[in-house]
Structure 1
Amino acid sequence: MRADYLIAALASGAMVAAVPTKGKPNPPKAVDTTNPWVGKVPFVNPEWTGKLSTTYKNFLKQFDVKHAMRTLQVKQISTFVWISRLSELSRIDDAIAEARRVQKKTGKKQIVGLVLYNLPDRDCSAGESAGEFKSEENGFNRYKEEFVKPYAEKLAAAPDLTFAVVLEPDSLGNLVTNLNIPLCAGAADIYREGVAHAISSLQYDHVHLYIDAAHGGWLGWNDNLPLAAAEFAEVLRIANSDGTTPKKIRGFATNVSNYNPFNAKVRENYTEWSNSWDESNYATSLAPHLEAAGLPAHFIVDQGRVHLPGARKEWGEWCNVAPSGLGPRPTTNTNNTVVDALVWIKPGGESDGECGYPGAPRAGAWHDEYIQQLIKNADPSVYKLF
């Protein structure tokens, strides 16, 4: 999954996007008022931790006992479950069953992080994570009936759990900056209507929705911030166009599958002209534009992978960036009032595509050599024992 960031154009203020023109935004009145992450235990996905068993064994084969033991600690950390194809809908059932088991055993309320990611003509600016639906092949109806409908039904049937759902990474960000790409321009209406449909379909009190808001290096430029807020407001207007009960979202997810630090220890040279030079600053920069559009200014920030200082020369380097490390352990202690939680949305070790790191496999495939370097370079909080 990626985006064509057009960094030079954005830095100079030369925009390629247009503000949606389909009527005045009419965002919902109903919003979530309580941080859903507080007082709950984030779900640990056994599918991901099972893959780390290979990493553990590989460290032992290298006689690296230190990082083998640290891998066992990483296996205790929550990651989101990605649902990006019809064949992966069963992952929801597996996550629900496991979360219920843990919740019953521990007596502690679970919050399950999920990603909903299967729009028609997905990943319009790159294709590394192109999806299974095509708009010219009845893709939108299939998306609604075969993907979103069963997705929603599964969550509706589990009111004993809490869910945090990230909606369609990269999609709306592409509509803010990449409408010069024919596939993105052609997919614009389907992206807006698809995300709006997902919002409308997931209106349950135990489900908290976060629209993907790209990251600070993409939408965080001063000229892009109001355009992003307008795009998000347009999607909420579409979701509410049926005139029924107002549709609510909790907020927005940033840095999904990217490498930006939440609090940068070193300010990289390529961030010089941006106030959104790390993800905390991006959330703070975007928040007033969201509020002005009538949208909730609440964020979760993906810190599953964070690049080390000097690892890249521009924000546009997005694929299997190295050297990188696992980011801060998921927490609600963010020191930023608009940020609900730091989370690990992209599971470390799953490749971004056949690019970046030498020998990287296709997008989503397991890359054990890469997760090994993430573990070696991890934020110190990852190995703090509780």
Structure 2
Amino acid sequence: MKVNVHRPRASRSVVTALSALLLGLVATLITIGSAHAAAGCKVTYGTNDWGGGFTANLGITNLGDPVTSWTLEWDFAGNQQVGQGWSGTFTQSSKHVTVKSLSYNGALATNASTSLGFNGSYSGTNTAPTTFKLNGTTCDGTAGSTPTPTPTPTPTDPGDGGSHAANPFAGGKGYVNPEWSAEAKGDGGTAVANQPTAVWLDRIAAINGVNGGMGLRAHLDAAVSQGAGYAQFVIYDLPGRDCAALASNGELGATDIGRYQSEYIDPIASIMADSKYANLKIITYIEPDSLPNLVTNVSGNTATAACQTMQQNGNYVKGVQYALNKLHAISNVYTYIDAAHHGWLGWDSNFNPAAQLFATVAKGTTAGVNSVDGFVVNTANYSPTTEPYLPVNDQTRQSKWVDWNYYVDESSFGAAFRQQLIADGFSSGIGMVIDTSRNGWGGSSRPTGPSTASDINTQVNAERVDRRPHVGDWCNQSGAGLGARPAAAPATGFDAYAWVKPPGESDGSSSAISNDEGKGFDRMCDPTYGGNALNGNSPSGALANAPLSGHWFSAQFHQLLQNAYPAVS
């Protein structure tokens, strides 16, 4: 259901490289005086602990003169050890940690900020460091305060009459879809059948229920009966839907924007606005695959004619804006735009253009950027939340797997992309959501530590927990497992880990199946397929005997249970 695409960086000629080197030397001579200036700074430090391990997220604000590169230092009070880091080059000597900026985030203007983070381990206590230095200057927060752990925003009470909460996932349990739960229990998944999952409204008929199944109102009624604090729905029926894949094509043609508005969004908004649901936080994930396709699949060797059509007629943008206008107007409805994942938008050729497109779309709504509560990454995909053993550095970025990407997991990508979105005009209160439903990658093939191999490709392949043949593989992946269980506020800047794609629901059929749902056959769901430009001409990695997208796939569900990480007990 999720298409992964990227554009590898073009190789440079020797002449270009030498020219760049000379220009760099000149620039260094000119800026050497200011590169390390930092008359004032502020650092925030927050952690998410899981007992012996933790994820740390840091924010740097430069309160002094502009800098062209930065070095951040601190000392741990205990025996904490830095593991995988992102958005910087980490080194540690005893208790002392040094982080150097990367090529893309070294420049910080006065009052500019950037973020970084790492996964760590410890025994005993995990006391947060209180003193940081930026380019040798102690960050005492002049024009700020001494760095302290970043607090999680206090949510509004679930029974608040529908007022808008800082984090809709916090302070209440999530709605458990009884239809999905019954499928899970019937297939040996009793231990996870009580987890909240999103309901996909993938066609007009789904609003009232398909083939005797529950419709939107029935789900909302059930959520109220359960006493749920929030319920999740995927808004997924744009004209010309999923223009770069066939398995999840939809019922509406490229020009059917009028039907999308009047027959799909309007009825959904009308039902959600019913006063009897006012105490329920209704979380909506807006149109997976749509806006990212307008960044990656309209030019070059990954372009498709369908995506070019949707860019030209503007109906993806018009549809998303219409959905935001209608849904944001309901005070207890929360909107999260799909932002693909690190293996789609992580490359520098896609990263900034995507954030700018999202900002442009949001600014074109009635409420502007305030119409968006946050962004969801890894929807219906398999990218790990964290890669604990695979560092991102100048060596690993040259490997075939990393392929010059600055990110290898969703935690690092989501944190960095959030900062870029804020820089492009979104509120500093926006939150990220990671779909962790199928990105656990446990089982016997999961690596247990870093590799000492001398060959970079051998090293990276031994270290990565993501066992797909290629990061561009997206359909019913063999070897995948359930990921982290749904949780609110798992890390600074993240509203939730959520199971947006209900585990056990197929991404697409492994062979052509006639249907009345508008869904085609995509070779990326065929286990015998050798790939195309979208996945580096690699094997598809798909499971055999898969049904249509959204239909129950028993064999996949059994595999997800078997390879769950954390394991299902």
> Is the shorter-chain TM-score for this pair beyond 0.5, marking a shared fold?
yes
Contact map agreement 1:329 1:381 (CA 8 A) in 2:
no
Give the equivalent residue in structure 1 for 2:194.
76
Give the equivalent residue in structure 2 for 1:60.
none
The structural deviation recorded for 1:237 is 2.3
Give the equivalent residue in structure 2 for 1:344.
499
Contact map agreement 2:4 2:473 (CA 8 A) in 1:
no
Per-residue CA deviation, residues 249-305 of structure 1 (Å, 9 max, x unaligned), is 111000000001111234395125222210000112212210111114421110000
The structural deviation recorded for 1:221 is 1.5
Query: CA 1:329–1:310 in structure 2 vs 1: closer, same or farther (change >3 Å)?
Result: closer
Query: CA 1:229–1:96 in structure 2 vs 1: closer, same or farther (change >3 Å)?
Result: same
The structural deviation recorded for 1:135 is 2.7
Q: Among residues 552, 558, 563, which one is paired with 1:366 in the alignment?
A: 552
> Higher relative CO (CA 8 A, sep ≥ 6), structure 1 or 2?
1
Q: Among residues 142, 148, 151, which one is paired with 2:265 in the alignment?
A: 148
The structural deviation recorded for 1:376 is 1.1
Asked whether 1:201 is paired with 2:340, we answer no
The structural deviation recorded for 1:4 is 5.1
Contact map agreement 1:325 1:373 (CA 8 A) in 2:
yes
Paired letter, 1:230: Q
Query: CA 1:365–1:246 in structure 2 vs 1: closer, same or farther (change >3 Å)?
Result: closer
Contact map agreement 1:82 1:117 (CA 8 A) in 2:
yes
Q: Which moved more, 1:147-156 or 1:216-225?
A: 216-225
The structural deviation recorded for 1:54 is 2.8
In the alignment, the residues of structure 2 paired with residue 195 and residue 151 of structure 1 have an alpha-carbon distance, to the nearest angstrom, of 14
Query: CA 1:287–1:120 in structure 2 vs 1: closer, same or farther (change >3 Å)?
Result: same
Give the equivalent residue in structure 1 for 2:487.
331
Q: Secondary structure at the match of 2:490?
A: coil
In the alignment, the residues of structure 2 paired with residue 306 and residue 110 of structure 1 have an alpha-carbon distance, to the nearest angstrom, of 25
Paired letter, 1:3: V
The structural deviation recorded for 1:234 is 1.4
Give the equivalent residue in structure 2 for 1:284.
415
Contact map agreement 1:4 1:178 (CA 8 A) in 2:
no
Contact map agreement 1:2 1:128 (CA 8 A) in 2:
no
Structure of greater Rg? 2
In the alignment, the residues of structure 2 paired with residue 197 and residue 87 of structure 1 have an alpha-carbon distance, to the nearest angstrom, of 20
Query: CA 1:13–1:100 in structure 2 vs 1: closer, same or farther (change >3 Å)?
Result: farther
In the alignment, the residues of structure 2 paired with residue 45 and residue 375 of structure 1 have an alpha-carbon distance, to the nearest angstrom, of 18
Paired letter, 2:178: P
Asked whether 1:255 is paired with 2:378, we answer yes
Q: Among residues 96, 100, 104, which one is paired with 2:220 in the alignment?
A: 96
In the alignment, the residues of structure 2 paired with residue 82 and residue 288 of structure 1 have an alpha-carbon distance, to the nearest angstrom, of 29
Query: Identity over the aligned pairs, expressed in percent?
Result: 34
RMSD: 2.0
TM-score by length of 1: 0.83
Per-residue CA deviation, residues 121-180 of structure 1 (Å, 9 max, x unaligned), is 0010111111011134xx110000000000011111121211110000000000011113
The structural deviation recorded for 1:381 is 6.3
Asked whether 1:321 is paired with 2:477, we answer yes
Q: Which moved more, 1:199-208 or 1:111-120?
A: 199-208
Query: CA 1:263–1:73 in structure 2 vs 1: closer, same or farther (change >3 Å)?
Result: same
The structural deviation recorded for 1:193 is 0.6
Tell me the number of residue pairs that the alignment of Structure 1 and Structure 2 aligns.
339
Paired letter, 1:226: N
Give the equivalent residue in structure 2 for 1:187.
310
Where does structure 1 lack aligned partners over 5 or more consecutive residues? 15-31, 57-70, 104-108
Give the equivalent residue in structure 1 for 2:20.
none
Paired letter, 2:417: L
Q: Which moved more, 1:319-328 or 1:284-293?
A: 284-293
In the alignment, the residues of structure 1 paired with residue 250 and residue 11 of structure 2 have an alpha-carbon distance, to the nearest angstrom, of 32
In the alignment, the residues of structure 2 paired with residue 13 and residue 300 of structure 1 have an alpha-carbon distance, to the nearest angstrom, of 34
The structural deviation recorded for 1:115 is 0.3
In the alignment, the residues of structure 2 paired with residue 125 and residue 245 of structure 1 have an alpha-carbon distance, to the nearest angstrom, of 28
Contact map agreement 1:216 1:278 (CA 8 A) in 2:
yes
Select the structure that is richer in strand: 2
In the alignment, the residues of structure 2 paired with residue 145 and residue 13 of structure 1 have an alpha-carbon distance, to the nearest angstrom, of 49
Map residues 158-197 of structure 1 onto 2, 5 A cutoff.
Answer: 158-180=277-299, 181-188=304-311, 189-197=314-322
Q: Secondary structure at the match of 1:271?
A: coil
Map residues 9-48 of structure 1 onto 2, 5 A cutoff.
Answer: 9-12=7-10, 34-48=166-180
Q: Among residues 229, 232, 247, which one is paired with 1:113 in the alignment?
A: 232
Paired letter, 1:37: F
Contact map agreement 1:37 1:111 (CA 8 A) in 2:
yes
Select the structure that is richer in helix: 1
In the alignment, the residues of structure 2 paired with residue 281 and residue 245 of structure 1 have an alpha-carbon distance, to the nearest angstrom, of 27
Per-residue CA deviation, residues 40-99 of structure 1 (Å, 9 max, x unaligned), is 11111111011123313xxxxxxxxxxxxxx21111111101001011113211211111
